[in-house]
Structure 1
């Protein structure tokens, strides 16, 4: 009996000691706990309090005999809590090996479940019941972070700009047990779309042609939401995130195409390209003034060299044909010679009218009969002039003398009158100085009278007219021929090229007179217009459309009727 009681006492003592040891040992969940900062430990951060279960009281027994009692196992002491405690830390600190939890995971969302953001600062929504602390990490596996008190929301800084960011959270309960890691992700993008805008290789950049500009908009972050395009500030069609912009019939000058792209975070960027359109044609605008519709100043340049006596006589007999054509015009007519050096009848001096005292210019006020007589007698020269014939030089010098204020020459020229030269010579221009060149004479007239209509009629030995040359004439006249062609030969109101070998000068002088008359219907052009000969030039008179029919003839615009006084604007294009 005594032995049985002793055995029961020993069993009760061992059971009591085991119960106490159990209460002092952490629960199984503590074995997976971590210290703050992520280091592996045997328990969580909070101190585990033992349960208040009482130890059993053994029944009274007699004092046993001195039998040795078994030695109880030592009771393990509880592991002290981590020293760091629950604290608030910054992201991506205290990184280590991720520790798997055993409790159900909590939840985490970023910006209320958003998938895109352009800010590194976000808001976390966190949820897990019955936990004491949490640890947030900028990794998907909860391997970083600092333990801190549980909060339902938290402002957080993402770890990576312009990329996908994973943020994870792990909770710890009051017994130190860890939850399974929970994570969420969001894409950060604070860069606008990238735009490529280039001109197509085949562009010509000319008026009346098409030009292509290729574009592409990309955004590696949030993606492209919209693309818009404009040309010179006006919206044009865009075909999606990439495509081309076609331009057509742009006016000459500088233009700009702009492509703007917006991403899904409403961040936008633009690319622009400026280009210049040139015209394959020259765009001409001429302003001309017509102050009278029938004024013409005529200079007759007579070759007074020995070989021209017979021509002068023939000319003198036929001047009536010229006068019949100009009799209804407001004319002024004067005569000079091709002599470049005579101090009385050469070097651009006007000849006194034969039979009239101290008169040098023929006008309608003299009456038609007197005008015909004065011209006929004056072109028949009594003197024998220089054999160095220079009709272009003589014309140049007449104008120079007029501009210098010499009375006789000044009386011939009116700034608002057309100017026609009638040259009669059986030789060519015999010198090649600056004042002997056709283009220099044309430029000289235009520089002093920009709006003056000007022609140069040549009665000469035509180039290649060998029959005329062999009839006792001195030389071909290619320089005079060239000057007449530069001033509208073959056009209405243009220059006439006649022959000194004609048996009757009447027809030639009549043609010259008709051409002089038609000069009042013409305006000179800078270049040959492109387009219809009846519509290539836009004509304005005093700011309004001038509707009189016209025809383009070479470098002249010839109207159906004489031009009334007014200010004219001509607009056209040339090659």
Structure 2
């Protein structure tokens, strides 16, 4: 949907910005007088890269209990999402239809916000395939799943050029791929070039062993930390979470908040005087609060929304602020 700007007052719908032929900007729009028209897009493609070795059986069950909440949150914010899953098994069953970077699932291989019985479809992806292969080749599986070979055939219908790509690695061990974290970061940077605001067009998240802990020890008393998965996630400022907790509700919440925050971040044209920032959503004033309000990153000129204050895609957001260099501006936006 396109809206024409009128002075400093403008409205918009959906959640990402593309202007004058440039690449998409995920987030709420900043003010820019040179824009004649802007297009917004709320597309997110989510790829789960899952360790299906026997040691992960209980962890996958814990994850399946929390996925309904993630769907509820994304549907509540009216995201246009696609979701698929691939296993980390690249070696033991190379002839099997579910290995080698092919999407898994008994019938539905790509879930969207219009898919019926989304939870059942996801659980089929998560629990429908188990391997005796003990080595998690997650980085290799990711690259294979998103290769032209797979996207043009078995994995069609998932990847969109104009969407945010979110990768979620799930493993209780290290990565044994031939691909390095540097290889993987370069691959994703090429597949999803940086956005117009300089941020990455992709974000990686990790659910796994993130530190030495008795709760994470294997039968031989070792914590197998997912260092390589963490490196890729940290490169994109993604969410890194422990798989060793009894429940994964907080973990799934962290990941969905990471995704939603990227598409609702507001980039200001100029640095703001923090004390002058005023934010309202649907006419209700929102406080500066890192849990259920907004925060301001002066270095990035970025307003982020958190918790209950994250706006839905049909909310009306108004931000007043005084730039450091010029007088007060008023940006009125309809997401």
Using the TM superposition, give the Cα deviation of residue 474 of structure 1 relative to its aligned residue in structure 2, in angstroms: 6.2
Q: Is the 8 A contact 1:339 1:385 kept in 2?
A: no
Aligned length: 243
Higher relative contact order by CA 8 Å / sep ≥ 6: 1 or 2? 2
Q: Is the 8 A contact 1:361 1:408 kept in 2?
A: no
RMSD after superposition: 3.2
- If the length of structure 2 is used for normalisation, what is the TM-score? 0.63
2:103 to 350, 371, 385: 350
1:375 to 122, 125, 129: 122
Which one has a bigger Cα radius of gyration?
A: 1
Q: Alignment partner of 1:503: what SS?
A: coil
1:406 to 148, 152, 156: 152
Aligned to 2:86: 336
Seen in structure 2, the aligned counterparts of structure 1 residues 388 and 411 have a Cα distance that, compared at 3 Å, is same
**1:130-169 deviation digits (Å, cap 9, x = unpaired):** xxxxxxxxxxxxxxxxxxxxxxxxxxxxxxxxxxxxxxxx
**1:392-438 deviation digits (Å, cap 9, x = unpaired):** 11111111146x6523423111111111111110111113x3xx222
1:421 to 138, 151, 167: 167
Work out the CA distance in 1 between the residues paired with 2:265 and 2:144: 26
1:388 aligns with 2:135: yes
Using the TM superposition, give the Cα deviation of residue 378 of structure 1 relative to its aligned residue in structure 2, in angstroms: 1.8
1:511 to 242, 254, 275: 254
Aligned to 2:228: 479
Q: Alignment partner of 1:407: what SS?
A: coil
Work out the CA distance in 2 between the residues paired with 1:504 and 1:395: 26
Q: Is the 8 A contact 1:307 1:473 kept in 2?
A: no
1:319 to 55, 67, 72: 67
**1:192-249 deviation digits (Å, cap 9, x = unpaired):** xxxxxxxxxxxxxxxxxxxxxxxxxxxxxxxxxxxxxxxxxxxxxxxxxxxxxxxxxx
Seen in structure 2, the aligned counterparts of structure 1 residues 300 and 430 have a Cα distance that, compared at 3 Å, is same
Aligned to 1:198: none
**1:284-332 deviation digits (Å, cap 9, x = unpaired):** xxx6424543210001111011211111112122211221222231110
Work out the CA distance in 1 between the residues paired with 2:174 and 2:211: 10
Query: Where do residues 160-175 of structure 1 align in structure 2 (5 Å cutoff)?
Result: none
Work out the CA distance in 2 between the residues paired with 1:533 and 1:461: 39
User: Structure 2 regions of 5+ residues with no counterpart?
Assistant: 1-21, 26-38, 275-293, 314-335
Q: Alignment partner of 2:49: what SS?
A: strand
User: Structure 1 regions of 5+ residues with no counterpart?
Assistant: 1-286, 489-494, 525-530, 536-548, 565-575
Which structure has greater strand proportion?
1
